[in-house]
Amino acid sequence: MTEPENPRTPTSTPAAQDVATVTNSHRSKRKRSKTSKRHRKQEPAGPRLFSDFGKFGNDLLTKGYSHDQTLSITTQSCNGVIVTSTAVKHGSRSTANVGARYKHENAAIEVNFDARSSISAALTFGAKFLPSTNVKASLILPQYSSSNLNLKFHQSFRNAGLSISVGLNQSPDLTLSTTVGNSIIAFGMGSKAEMGDLLRLSYAHHFHGPRKVSAVAEVTRRLSKKKNSLAVGVSYIVDKLTTAKATLNNRGKLQALLVHKIKPNSSLNISSEFNVKDLDRIPRIGLALALVL
C-alpha cells in the first residue's frame, strides 16, 4: 500500500504578495476615508448669521398674523417670471397689489404696482458677484425719497457669525449684528444706528429634530426713547401640511396662527388676536388664502 500524497501547500509569489499589499492598502485608505467622513459629519456646524435666524425669529413672531381678509394668487410663466396678485380687505377699505419677480442665477429683479399708483422696483445681487456681499437697490415712484441702496457683508465662523449692513438713503443707517452658538442653539444681537437707535437681542431654540418645535424670545430697546419691548413665540409643526404658532408680548397682545397647506405651495391661514390686559375687547380674527397656480 502506498500512502496518499499530502496536498501541496500553495506558495505565494512575490507578484501575488505585491497585489495583496496594494489591495490591503486600498482597503485601509477606504476605511480611513469613511472614518474621516464620519468624523466630519459629526463635527458641529456653526451658527447661522443673525440676519438669518433673526429673520426666522421675526417671522415666527410676526409673519402670517393678519386680521384682514386676504387673497393672493401666484402664477409662473415658462420663462421663470413669477407674478403675484394680492387683494386685501381691511374693514371697509380695500387695496390691491400686483408684483412680478424674475431671478437669474444669483441676481433678481422685482417690480410692484399698487392701487395708489405707486411703483417700486428692486434689484438684488448675491454673493456670487461679490464674495460674502449682497447688494440691493430699490427705487420707489413717485415717492423717490424712500429709495435706497443697501450693502450687506457677512462672514461665518465655526462658532460665531458677523454681519454688517449699510443703508444709503436720505437717512443713512448702519446695522451691526453678531451670533454665537452652534446649529442647535444660538444667541444673536443686532444694533441699528439711524435717527433713532435700536438694539435687538434674539434667542432661538429648536426642539425634537429638524424644527418640529421652535421657540423664540426677542428683546428690543429704543435707546433714544429708553423703551424696552419683549416678545416670545413658539411654533409647532403638527404634520407635513399643518403648522401652529403663537406669540405674546409685554403689552399683553396674544396671537395665534394656524397654517394649513392645501397643496405644496398654496396655503390657508387662520389667525386671531386677543389682549389679555383688556378682556372687554372683542378678539380679532383674520383669514388669508394664498394660491399658486
Q: Is 90 among the domain residues?
A: yes
Quick check: 53 pLDDT over 80?
no
Q: Is 36 among the domain residues?
A: no
What is the model's pLDDT at position 127? 62
Quick check: 16 pLDDT over 60?
no
Domain hosting 172: range is 50-292
Tally of residues, the chain: 293
For position 262, which CATH number holds? 2.40.160.10
Structurally, the chain folds into a number of domains equal to: 1
What is the model's pLDDT at position 68? 87
Q: Is 30 among the domain residues?
A: no
User: Distance (Å, rounded) from C-alpha 230 to C-alpha 221?
Assistant: 9
pTM for this prediction: 0.65
Please give the average per-residue pLDDT across 176-193, as a whole number.
72
Per residue in 113-129, pLDDT tens? Answer: 988 778 889 888 876 66
What is the model's pLDDT at position 194? 57
The dihedrals phi and psi of 37, each to the nearest 5 degrees, come to -60, -40
Q: Is 21 among the domain residues?
A: no
Q: Is 27 among the domain residues?
A: no
Cell of 142: 413717485
Q: Is the peptide bond before 14 cis (omega within 30 degrees of 0)?
A: no
Q: Is 14 among the domain residues?
A: no
Nearest residue to 190 via CA among 159, 212, 216, 221: 221
Higher-confidence position of 186 and 79? 79
Q: Is 99 among the domain residues?
A: yes
Please give the average per-residue pLDDT across 25-35, as a whole number.
49
User: In 11-166, where does DSSP find H-type helix?
Assistant: 14-42, 50-62
One DSSP character per residue, 201-257 reads EEEEEEETTTTSEEEEEEEEEETTTTEEEEEEEEEEE-SSSEEEEEEEETT-EEEEE
Spatial neighbors of 99 by CB under 8 A, at least 6 apart, are 83, 84, 86, 110, 111, 112, 113
Per residue in 217-261, pLDDT tens? Answer: 999 888 778 889 999 999 999 998 999 999 999 999 999 999 999
Q: Report the SS3 class of residue 62.
A: helix
What is the model's pLDDT at position 29? 47
Q: Is 37 among the domain residues?
A: no
